[in-house]
Amino acid sequence: MDRSQVEVFVRALSRVLGWTYMASWSLSFFPLPISMWRRKSTSGVSIDFNFINLLGFTCYAIYTATFLYSPVIRSQYAARHPAAAEPTVRVNDLAFAALGVIMCLVAYSMFWPRLSGLHTPRHQRVSWTMRGLFSGCVLAPLVVICVVFAQTPDSKNNPFSWAWIDVIYTFSYDKLVITTVKYVPQAWLNYRRQSTVGWNIWTIILDLIGGILSLLQLVLDSSLQSDWSGITGNPAKLLLSNITIFFDLIFIVQHYILYRGASDPKAKSGPDSTTPLLDDSNP
């Protein structure tokens, strides 16, 4: 095949990978709320994870939407990456982010007994650590916006000075920080309980498949450009994939090796026990 045929094939393969990873990551949202609904309880699931995940996907939706449809952001990206034809953000990235916002909202709402009707352990509250992270992630883009407004007219002509694209990049960095931190409470909760009961492993398996395919799509898209700046120009997608893969492997080790066959700590305490269960407390 000549070069043009190879490019057509790679682009087609990229689209297939994109929508496949989007489907895999999208499906990963469903097992956990379904299992909580079936168990009629949020026991064994970290509220911190679900609380901060909602903000993370909101930031990611803003990031992908502006890179796809904002002429200002796309022109500033072209000025900073002249060798790249266009940003490596795809429609499937936005579709996944939008679905993520909806499903994270559904999952977090299940921790409100009056709304969901599920049993929520009385000690299951959002930790101050996650509240602080939430505040910091909201504050960061506001600070960058102030810096952009403070730019002089001359500096605005420099593509590498502070610009609106930096505000959008800040949203992507928020998402990266949240993704790095959000899995920790659940992994720690599994460790304290010495069990993964309540935490659905299919969420992790589908998440892992999506992370691998997302990384492959980014590499393929960047290979079509004259350099590899498409990878560094989309740090959110690059690091999200790698962070996701790393933590998913931790959960798989916990489920299939460390705590394989472990029973539910709630069952040991008995349904009528008044003693708070280990999994009722936030890590």
pTM: 0.78
Q: Are 171 and 185 in contact (CB under 8 A)?
A: no
DSSP code of residue 278: G
DSSP code of residue 280: G
Confidence of residue 252 (pLDDT cuts 50, 70, 90): very high
250 in any annotated domain: yes
Q: Are 45 and 120 in contact (CB under 8 A)?
A: no
Confidence of residue 229 (pLDDT cuts 50, 70, 90): low
How many domains does the chain fold into? 1
278 in any annotated domain: no
- The residues, ordered by sequence, that sit 6+ positions from 33 with a Cβ below 8 Å of its Cβ are 103, 106, 107, 110
32-67 tens-digit pLDDT? 999 999 988 888 899 999 999 999 999 999 999 999
Q: Are 73 and 168 in contact (CB under 8 A)?
A: yes
Widest Cα–Cα separation across the chain: 72
Half-sphere exposure of 192 (CA within 13 A, CB side): 17
Domain of residue 90: give its range: 3-115+125-269
Query: Which pLDDT belongs to residue 274?
Result: 31
40 in any annotated domain: yes
Q: Does 225 score more than 90 pLDDT?
A: no
Query: Which pLDDT belongs to residue 276?
Result: 35
Structure tokens that stand for 48 in this block: 């911190």
275 in any annotated domain: no
Rounded to an integer, the average pLDDT of 206-212 is 93
Q: Does 266 score more than 80 pLDDT?
A: no
Q: Tell me the DSSP string of 156-184.
A: HTSTTSS-HHHHHHHHHHHHHHHHHHHHH
CA-CA distance, 249 to 261, in Å (whole number)?
A: 18
CA-CA distance, 254 to 248, in Å (whole number)?
A: 10
Query: Which pLDDT belongs to residue 8?
Result: 82
61-80 tens-digit pLDDT? 999 999 999 999 988 888 88
DSSP code of residue 262: P
For residue 177, the one-letter residue type is V
The phi, psi pair for 188, rounded to 5°, reads -70, -40
Q: Does 1 score more than 80 pLDDT?
A: no
CA-CA distance, 262 to 82, in Å (whole number)?
A: 55
| Packing angle of the helix pair 71-80, 164-193 (nearest 10 deg) | 90
129-159 tens-digit pLDDT? 999 999 999 999 999 999 988 876 666 566 6
Rounded to an integer, the average pLDDT of 155-174 is 83
283 in any annotated domain: no
Kindly state the percentage of the chain with pLDDT values over 70: 84
276 in any annotated domain: no
102 in any annotated domain: yes
56 in any annotated domain: yes
Greater pLDDT, 226 or 69 = 69
Query: Which pLDDT belongs to residue 85?
Result: 64
- Left if phi > 0, otherwise alpha if psi is -120 to 50, otherwise beta: which for 47? alpha
110-128 tens-digit pLDDT? 998 887 788 887 777 899 9
CA-CA distance, 145 to 163, in Å (whole number)?
A: 9
Report CA 9 to chain centroid distance, whole Å.
Answer: 29
